[in-house]
A and B are shown apart, each in its own frame.
Chain A
Amino acid sequence: MTRQMTGAEMVIQALIDQGVDTIFGYPGGSVLPIYDEIFQQDKINHILVRHEQGAGHAAEGYARSTGKVGVALVTSGPGATNMVTPLADALLDSIPMVCITGQVPTHLIGTDAFQEADTVGITRPCTKHNFLVRTIESLPRILHEAFRIATTGRPGPVLIDIPKNIQFQTGTYENCKDKAPLTQYNPRREGDADAIRAAVNLMIAAKKPVLYTGGGVINSGRHATELLRDLVKLTGFPITSTLMGLGAYPASGPNWLGMLGMHGTYEANLAMHDCDVMVCVGARFDDRITGRIDAFSPNSKKIHIDIDPSSINKNVRVDIPIVGDVGSVLAEMIRLWKELSPQTDAAAHKNWWNQIASWRAKKCLRYKKSHDVIMPQYAIERLYAMTRGHDTYITTEVGQHQMWAAQFFGFDEPNRLMTSGGLGTMGYGLPAALGAQIAHPNSLVIDIAGDASAQMCIQELSTAVQYDAPIKIFILNNQYMGMVRQWQQLLHGNRLSHSYVEAMPDFVKLAEAYGGVGIRCEKPDELDDAITEMISVKKPVIFDCRVANLANCFPMIPSGKAHNEMLLGEDVSDEEIGNAIGAAGKVLV
């Protein structure tokens, strides 16, 4: 069925036809016609943020916590440029997102008009795809195609730049959601049958196997998570995950090794280093994961399942690449495994698990406890303990607190951790928490933050207050940019250049100024009660958790080092920390 309507109406209608019920945005001159349409309808809930970056990260948090597309709407020029960081963030973390930007009228494009920016030019390398709408006739198909591109294959952000005059023009709208696609983009979902068979045979013969999983499992959907758990049960393989994949396999599961990588566990990294068969599922051999690439898991055969062919052999050469959707490939693997009902080498597996048990016995996450000062690790442990039994979503900012959250907070379900993994965006967590809370109004949503990161998008606290979104901002306040300080200690002779924040705001008063609630806690024995209070407050809360200022995040693979060259927290002296990274490693990030 077709209808005549304006471009602005088409935008809203297409969102409705795509099942969108919530968008995050900020108005401005060249999106006014769309905002006028928003005013005259009640199907789409618009959340007014305080800064366009907040709209983008909120859309990401919404998308990541629901599995749906996050939608953001902002104006031309500065509205669009403020959106660049969330777009780049969503691209690196494969978050499905549609961003609609206003643009100056077509006849003004190229004249340096007021609030004109070359939005498609600026966002080309930080989106999966982008469109500049040139005619009203093309608008309906572009709107629907944007959703298709954002969600199929490897998900990512898609931007639609709509000049203001086209928003006013009238044209024919048709719901082309299920019509022939506008572009030929059609990524393959099923993995190659021969490759899957070869992979299963390799897994059957493995003596020291390990599953290394990532965000692709979560992106593939709930069924992929279930299949992964089935596969672990079926094979008995140990499993580790990247930051982005936490929760796909439960942290309380018997085969769980903990997160791997730079701040991963000793057992996970050594299992990766010593394994003979590595099954990489929806992860991408990122530099945070591999450490020194020429010493990465030197004796293993590697299987790599990824929907994006360009991920294959990009950083690490693999033996059996399988291009396809994780869910579809895992289903086929399980079917084959059951069909073959193989005899695996039980004795070898037992030895392997014994080896893993000896690594676990190192208790690599140990830290020095204190009665006087709250250790940041302790704060996360208590936060986890006190929130068990709640329907909890966690977001994080970027830094030490993020890694402690990954190490000490156990995620048993997918889509429960929203964090900026690839881009490492400080300021992500607060607006992402807002987005998650809007999607799950009755759940407990906590942004585990650092004192520096929390201030990067603090203005969205105002949005949270406006929409009664009772997010909790749990700040591990150590007065430093902790990870920067740790690296300065590791790399730069402990010269703490500009990593100490001398004028810290009073976070309690700040929360109150915004209309929220502030809680401060400075003593370990008061922490549980304070967290209980935080959970019980039905308003946005800033929790100013004063923690040990100079705690370092361990274990750590220093840059330029291999998985079996980890620094463990309790074993290292300050001098060893200072010499941990060689000259070659210093240039690495």
Chain B
Amino acid sequence: MMIVAGQSQSAYFLEEDIPNTERSHTLSVLVDNEPGVLARIVGLFSGRGYNIESLTVSEVEHEKHLSRITIVTTGKPPVVTQIMHQIGRLIPVHRVTNLTWLGETIERELALVKVAGKGEIRDDALRLAQAFNARIVDATLESYVFEITGTPSDIDRFVSLMTNCGLVEVARTGLAAVGRGKIGM
């Protein structure tokens, strides 16, 4: 389902086939890249008591000053529909797409994972990194920084393994997502 600014969508009819269970949804929101636009989105979520599991934002079309915000939230379909309509009501929002409802979605996240240690721990870390296709982006005699790209659950697993390998810190980008196939949002 997609909400385009200036068009109405009758959510009810579209929801019929969707099971009424709580799950996570990936929303893609195209907005004017102007000061305060992120605050409007985030304020809407906190003000109305919706939760954000992940949020990423970056300019995607420089000439048109458009940014794309990817939000992962959880809820039953009526709640998610309401969230989408509330977002769609904001003046700088051009379009809201629920990628989860569109079908198959490609979702990726990048993480930088720092581990420190000597001996066996260090060897384990390196082997696991190779198994996960993580890249070494910094190395000292006592530490590594790995760069890993994958689905959020890939990264969860990698990070959880690294806790046994001298994990120091993790930085994650949050989710970027697009639908499969030739159609854009």
Contact = CB atoms under 8 A, between A and B. Distances in A.
Contacts of A319: 12
Contacts of A144: none
A129, A312, A318, A324: most-surrounded residue (chain B CB, <10 A): A312
A312 B12 contact: yes
Contact of B6 (A187, A192, A308, A312): A187
Nearest to B40: A124
B94 interface: yes
B35 A128 contact: no
A354 to B, nearest CB: 33
Contact of B94 (A184, A187, A317, A318): A184
Interface in A304-330: 308-310, 312-314, 317-324
Contact of B11 (A185, A187, A313): A313
A149 B91 contact: yes
Contact of A310 (B12, B32, B85): B85
Contacts of A313: 11-12, 78, 81-82
A497 B46 CA distance: 33
A460 to B, nearest CB: 30
B5 A321 contact: no
Given A185-B5, A310-B88, A125 B47 contact: yes
A188 interface: yes
Contacts of B12: 312-313, 317-321
A183 interface: yes
A132 B37 CA distance: 12
A5 interface: no
B6 A184 contact: yes
Given A124-B43, A310-B82, A324 B8 contact: yes
Nearest to A315: B82
Interface residues of B, number: 28
A324 B7 CA distance: 10
Interface in A272-314: 308-310, 312-314
B6, B78, B91, B92: most-surrounded residue (chain A CB, <10 A): B91
Given A183-B91, A313-B82, A192 B8 contact: yes
B177 to A, nearest CB: 23
A186 B88 CA distance: 11
A185 B43 CA distance: 20
Contacts of B11: 309, 312-313, 321
A124 B39 contact: yes
Given A124-B36, A125-B47, A132-B35, A309 B91 contact: no
Contacts of B127: none
B36 A310 contact: no
A70 to B, nearest CB: 19
A188 B85 contact: no
- Majority DSSP secondary structure for residues of A touching B: loop
Interface in B26-85: 32, 35-36, 39-40, 43-44, 47, 78, 81-82, 85
B105 interface: no
B85 A312 contact: yes
B118 interface: no
A120 interface: yes
A186 B78 contact: no
A187 B85 CA distance: 13
A121 B105 CA distance: 35
A192 B10 contact: yes
Contacts of A309: 3, 8-9, 11, 85, 88-89
A67 to B, nearest CB: 22
A508 interface: no
B86 interface: yes
Contacts of A457: none
A318 B81 CA distance: 14
B6 A183 contact: no
B114 to A, nearest CB: 34
B153 to A, nearest CB: 32
A530 interface: no
Given A312-B10, A312-B12, A324-B8, A129 B91 contact: yes
Contacts of A188: 6-8
Interface string A158-184: 000000000000000000000000011
Given A309-B11, A312-B10, A313-B11, A186 B91 contact: no
A310 B89 contact: yes
B7, B10, B35, B78: most-surrounded residue (chain A CB, <10 A): B10
A183 to B, nearest CB: 5
A577 to B, nearest CB: 33
Contact of B5 (A149, A186, A191): A186
Contact of A183 (B3, B7, B8, B92): B92
A185 B12 CA distance: 23
A185 B39 CA distance: 19
Contact of B10 (A120, A195, A317): A195
Interface of B: 3, 5-12, 32, 35-36, 39-40, 43-44, 47, 78, 81-82, 85-86, 88-92, 94
21 contacts: A124-B40, A125-B44, A128-B91, A132-B36, A134-B35, A149-B91, A183-B91, A184-B5, A186-B6, A191-B8, A192-B8, A308-B89, A309-B11, A310-B82, A310-B88, A310-B89, A312-B85, A313-B81, A317-B12, A320-B12, A321-B11
Given A309-B9, A309-B11, A321-B12, 14 more contacts: A121-B36, A124-B36, A125-B43, A125-B47, A128-B91, A132-B35, A184-B5, A187-B6, A192-B8, A308-B89, A310-B88, A313-B82, A323-B9, A324-B8
Closest 8 CB pairs of A and B: A323-B8, A310-B85, A186-B6, A129-B91, A309-B85, A185-B91, A188-B8, A321-B10
